[in-house]
Amino acid sequence: MIRSSILISGDPLSLSRGAEATKLAIEAELVFYGLEDEVRVGYTGRIGNTDALPAVIVYPEGTVYGPVSPEAGAAIVEEHLYKGRRLEDLVLPIEVAPGAIEAPSAVGDMLSGQRRVVLKRAGTIDPYSIDDYIAYDGYFALGKALTNMAPNEVLETVKASGLQGRGGAGFPAGLKWSFVAQQPAPTRYIVCNADESEPGTFKDRLILEGDPHAVLEGMALAGYAVGANEGWIYIRGEYAMAKDILNNAIAAAEDMNLLGDNILGSDFSFHIHVHAGAGAYVCGEETALLNSLEGLRGIPRVRPPYPTVSGFRGKPTVVNNVETLANVAPIILNGVDWFRSIGTERSPGTKVYTMLGDVNVTGLVETPMGTTLREIINVYGGGMKGGKAFKAAQTGGAAGSIIAPALLDVPMDYATMLQHGATLGSGALLICADDTCIVDLAYVLMRFFAAESCGKCVPCRLGTLRMMECLERLRQGRGTSDDLEELQRMAQQVIQTSFCGLGQGAPVSILSALRHFREEFDAHVAGTCPTGTCPMSGPVETAVELHDYFSIERS
């Protein structure tokens, strides 16, 4: 009889800080008190703020402790589980920052503003336990589809739900599925794009680490809808834990006949494989991903043909993002009306954001589509750090646009953002306070693209470098007004001529920065940095890296 359950953060950072020793200490102490059959112990993804790692959640209370050393772990067993009293000293001060976003929903009121569809179970269930998933409605949608719905009904339901691809482009998922379903080929594939390489984005990792079966069930439903019997998860190489969790989940689901041949006794068979990438940003682009998945160099393919016609191994292929797939089972289970009741007319459902930068609380936020940036910063981010003023935000990752305060109150969904010349992208939100040098930010972003350009096409390979060089001159106070002209011109031409989204997205931040913060660039040309934070202002310190911006540990 299980009466309690302990989840330990097992992400790489926690592991590097001794999460494994903590887990061993907890398990040893449970044996010491004879509780090993009553208390279950497992890993989950990251919990809480960075300085609280490794963290531990004790259910059913949902108490979050952190950071938990092996000694503290033993103490938690003795005090909380054996004697029944909280270790107040170690309880995470989550209450201080309303909207602490990585804490589990079970924590209750603090997260009341969030609407959790995708992250419903993450942090609540043991990701290594298929029983936990099933207990929380898991595989009900697949069961419902296989017993009560024709493939086409599943497809039509997803179509009617208005679910848009959460990878960044917002393409209607049901429409994409229908393209694949239409193809006459006997073999089709479902590919889950889990190569989450966008700087500052880690929503997919949290979904995979916290609720792997949600993605597997979504893939199986997609396979059923379009007539595919094989699925591949292309996972970012660094996501070792998520990969392990996925492989475990696939094995467990196959054991229970929820994946594999003749699922639940039906005619439908579906097999899922996991393939780890080797660390290239461009492999998030779906055709580069497919190349990489086939063992080729990860560079984008010529389109047409699109993957829906000729994708993995030349067969019609659905390529969907993790978050997109995690939305499928809830839609099938709860119906179109339920899904459409969340979010906006044009973009139903929720969006998972990863918020970084100058806010008090960084991390994951899931809110209905249409939430404004101001609300996200104030409610879930706990406001601007140190009371600084909001200057700019970059939405959608490194390829997103830099937006000015004027857009703080725009309800964010794919279409509305586009109308304002901005993008929702992967859901990364980089919040910058007024001491951020936009020129420096633009330089660091462009250095990222110059490094990550796959090198295939001329404009991206050389254009990103030349733009970076231009920005470097500007941030070092060596730039001229010609450089600014040149930068603007190059940015437009790289967008117009680049082969894939990488090159087409790389200059977006520059163009938007030039549009909203032109005077700051002009000031650099004139010899001053208004914020006084970039290299031209003092002894040159050039070691600023992209992760200095896109880090939840940014000071």
| CB 219 within 8 Å of CB 270 | yes
Distance, in Å, from the CA atom of 232 to the CA atom of 151, rounded to the nearest integer, reads: 20
Binds another protein by CB under 8 A, chosen from 104, 165, 311, 463: 463
From 236-244, 344-352, 460-468, 518-526, span contacting another protein (CB under 8 A): 460-468
Our finding on whether 404 is near another protein (CB under 8 A) is no
Residues 65-124 that bind another protein (CB under 8 A): none
From 20-28, 434-442, 497-505, 529-537, span contacting another protein (CB under 8 A): 497-505
Closer CB to another protein, residue 240 or residue 465? 465
Q: Provide the minimum distance between the beta carbon of 474 and another protein in the complex, in angstroms, as a whole number.
A: 13
Distance, in Å, from the CA atom of 267 to the CA atom of 414, rounded to the nearest integer, reads: 38
Our finding on whether 304 is near another protein (CB under 8 A) is yes
Our finding on whether 275 is near another protein (CB under 8 A) is no
In this structure, the number of other CB atoms found within 10 A of the CB of residue 71 comes to: 12
Residues 469-488 that bind another protein (CB under 8 A): 469
Binds another protein by CB under 8 A, chosen from 17, 456, 475, 516: 456
The structure tokens listed for 528 are 């001053």
Closer CB to another protein, residue 3 or residue 303? 303
Write the DSSP string, 200-262: T--HHHHHHHH-HHHHHHHHHHHHHHHT--EEEEEE-TT-HHHHHHHHHHHHHHHHTTSSBSS
The structure tokens listed for 356 are 């970084």
Our finding on whether 491 is near another protein (CB under 8 A) is no
Q: Provide the minimum distance between the beta carbon of 169 and another protein in the complex, in angstroms, as a whole number.
A: 14
Our finding on whether 542 is near another protein (CB under 8 A) is no
Our finding on whether 497 is near another protein (CB under 8 A) is yes
Q: Provide the minimum distance between the beta carbon of 150 and another protein in the complex, in angstroms, as a whole number.
A: 34
Alpha-carbon Rg for the chain in angstroms: 24
From 85-93, 223-231, 358-366, 459-467, span contacting another protein (CB under 8 A): 459-467
Q: Provide the minimum distance between the beta carbon of 466 and another protein in the complex, in angstroms, as a whole number.
A: 6
Closer CB to another protein, residue 389 or residue 451? 451
Our finding on whether 310 is near another protein (CB under 8 A) is no
Q: Provide the minimum distance between the beta carbon of 419 and another protein in the complex, in angstroms, as a whole number.
A: 16
> From its phi and psi, is residue 227 left (phi > 0), alpha (psi between -120 and 50) or beta?
left
Type and span of the H or E element at 63: strand 63-65
Output the CA–CA distances (angstroms, integers) from residue 116 to 74, 104, 190, 284, 342, in the order listed: 32, 10, 25, 25, 10
The binding track of 415-454 with respect to another protein, each residue x by CB under 8 A or -, is -----------------------------------xxxxx
Binds another protein by CB under 8 A, chosen from 106, 134, 465, 523: 465
Binds another protein by CB under 8 A, chosen from 389, 458, 526, 540: 458
Cite the beta strand spans of 70-142 per DSSP E.
none
Helix orientation angle between 481-497 and 508-516, rounded to the nearest 10 degrees: 140
Distance, in Å, from the CA atom of 409 to the CA atom of 388, rounded to the nearest integer, reads: 18
Write the burial class of residue 526 (CB in 10 Å: 0-12 exposed, 13-18 middle, 19+ buried).
Answer: exposed
Q: What is the dihedral of CA 360, 366, 370, 375, to 10 degrees?
A: -20
Q: Which residues bind another protein (CB under 8 A)?
A: 280, 282, 297, 299, 302-304, 450-459, 461-466, 469, 490, 493, 496-499
